[in-house]
Each structure stands twice: as C-alpha cells, then as structure tokens.
Amino acid sequence: MRERATAEATVEDFESATREVADLQGLMELAAEEGDEAMVREIAGQVPAIEARVRALELGRMLGADDDHDAIVTINPGAGGVDAQDWAEMLLRMYLRWCEGRGFKTDLLSKQPGEEAGIKDATILVKGPFAYGYLRAENGVHRLIRISPFDANKRRHTAFAGVSVVPDLGDELTEEEVEIRDEDLEVSTMRSGGAGGQHVNRTESAVRIRHVPSGFVVRCEAERSQHQNRETAMKMLRGLLFEKARREREEAFEEAFVGDKSEIAFGSQARTYTLQPYTMVKDERTDHKTGNVHAVLDGDLDDFIETYLMMSADRKSAKKAPKSNP
C-alpha cells in the first residue's frame, strides 16, 4: 500500500506539472501574438516554481525502493580532540535542523557527551518519506577548518567527524540476505548516560552490540527497557550490514564511510567546511560548493544532497548503458 501511494503521488505530480507547462506554453503563444509584455512577465514569474517541481520529480527518479526507509544516522568525532567532539555536536544540530525543515521526525537513540565539550558519539532515528534515500548522501567523513574556540592562541585547527547513515529495515531482511548469528555477537549492558530519573541509575538498560565478523559496533540507550534497546540496536546492525552489502553490490563500498574501522582523518573526507581564512563548504565527491557556510550548518543541505544523488544516478546509468562496438 505504501508503494502504491508513492507511485500514485508521483504520477499525479508528473501529470500536474505537464498540464502547467502546457498551459504556460499556450499563454506564451497568446502573449506573443498579442504583443502583451505584461503577460510575458507574469508567465516568466511562474517558471521558477515549475522548475523546482520538475527538479523534485527528477530527484525522485533517483530514489529506488530500497531508499524508502527511515534512516539511522550515527555521528562520531575523529581526529582533532575536543574540536572534533564539538564538530560532531555541530553536525548533529545541522541534521536535526535539516529534518525539522523537511517535516521529518527524529528520535535520539544514543548520545554520549564529551568531557570538555561536544559529544563522543550520537545516533538519531529519522522518520519520513525516503529519509534514508536522501540522507545516504551524507555518508562519509566531514572536515571542519576554523579558528579553534578551545585554543587560547586562536590558531586555526582542523577537525574531523564521521557520519554513517543506514536504513531502518525493521524485520524486512531475511536470513538469506543478511545472516546474523548469535555466536557472532558480543553483547554488553551498562547504565544509561542520559536523562531518565532513578530508573536508569539503578538498572543497566543501555545495550552495546559488536558484530565480530564485520567489526561493526552499535549502541542504544534511548529506551528504559534493556529489551527495547537491544531490539533497536539490532535494527541498527541490520542497517549497517545492508548498507555494506549495497555498496559492495555497486562496487562503491568504502570502509571509511561506515563503522568504526575507518580512519576519520586527512585524505578521507566527503565534505569540507571552511570557516577560516575564507568561508566555503565543498563536497569533495561532486565539487558542489557554496560560500554560505552558516546556512549549511543551519540545515540547508538540499543542494548538496540533490547534487550527490544526481551524480550517483548518472554513474549507475553509465554503467548500465550498453557499450558500442568500435
């Protein structure tokens, strides 16, 4: 039913945009015949809105059935010490603001504060149509260059944080697709570090699971029940294994993007955010850039996400295209 509703909405949007374009073409021909410049200006004013709708339809074409899932986003600081922990918290705020702007709901699954500032890690569940499809563009290492607020000498520092995005698959995966054996899991429990009153201080409700074959480690402390936290952690692990298999199928899987095997440091960044000596955000994969860093940090990510998805779709199309004989 969800797939049908999505397909019906796509067809409706396409037909509506087609009618609007046809209507504007008719009006433009009429304005040209009558030499009505005021009508031409009015028609021109409606073009940007239609272009935005067409771009949204084109972007929707880039999203497949596997993309229509909620997303689990994990942020880990890398090289950079306290600056990296502070940078990880800035990224968490950026994604929360982006979700708020799109009307997506978010649940904080886990968050460990840093000793001095920032966070040691955080995981959020993002609920919304194609949340995973959009946010998978954020997978990778994010680099920040700025004057460090933690340096008394006001020197420029570079900090790194890793972002991992996986789908919330629920129980959709079968054992044939991703096999998770109990003997491959190392499960430990601990007291939750978050708010929750006396309950979390008396019980070990937080759950940490390590998948030995892959090395993936997941943690959840959002629920009061250890059983519920284990279920959520298993969802996160299934998502990680699914993402790994997807990238291997596409011959584009890079361990630096997922899990804590990666080195979150120089030479592996997906995007660079420069605040000093100039302001710029540049995606190293697509070369898309903007000088409005503060807007991006406030959640204005749509252009970066769309550019990445368009590039990924073009590469897939190029791989599938038949090769011509010389």
Q: Where are the domains of the chain?
A: 2-61, 67-315
Gap between the Cα atoms of 124 and 138, Å rounded: 14
Q: 280-283 and 269-274: which strand pairing? A: antiparallel
Among 111-115, 127-131, 260-264, 275-279, which stretch is predicted with the lowest mean pLDDT?
Answer: 260-264
Mean pLDDT of 151-179: 77
pLDDT value at 77 more than 60: yes
Q: Work out the percent of the chain whose per-residue pLDDT is above 90.
A: 31
- The pLDDT of residue 261 is 42
Residue 47 per-residue DSSP state: H
* Of residues 190, 247, 182, the one with CA closest to residue 210: 182
Query: What angle do the packed helices 2-34 and 37-61 form, to 10 degrees?
Result: 160
pLDDT value at 73 more than 80: yes
Q: Which CATH class is domain 67-315?
A: alpha beta
Query: What angle do the packed helices 37-61 and 302-320 form, to 10 degrees?
Result: 60
- The pLDDT of residue 197 is 45
Q: How does pLDDT run across 175-221, given as a tens digit for each residue?
A: 435 668 888 888 887 766 554 444 444 566 788 888 888 888 888 87
User: What pTM was computed for the model?
Assistant: 0.71
pLDDT bin (cut points 50, 70, 90) of residue 257 is very low
Residue 160 per-residue DSSP state: E
- The pLDDT of residue 100 is 95
pLDDT value at 256 more than 50: no
HSE-up of residue 318 (Cα within 13 Å, Cβ side): 6
Q: What pairs with residue 140 in β-bridges? A: 163
Q: How does pLDDT run across 285-319, given as a tens digit for each residue?
A: 999 999 999 999 999 999 999 899 888 776 666 55
Q: Where are the alpha helices (DSSP H) in 35-192?
A: 37-61, 82-102, 131-135
- Could you identify the residue written with the tokens 């759950």? 207
**181 dihedral zone (left: phi>0; alpha: psi -120 to 50; beta):** beta
Among 46-60, 164-178, 286-300, which stretch is predicted with the lowest mean pLDDT?
Answer: 164-178
Gap between the Cα atoms of 273 and 235, Å rounded: 31
Residue 110 has phi, psi (to 5 degrees) of -160, 140
- The pLDDT of residue 253 is 42
pLDDT value at 323 more than 60: no
Contacts of 182 (CB under 8 A, 6+ apart): none
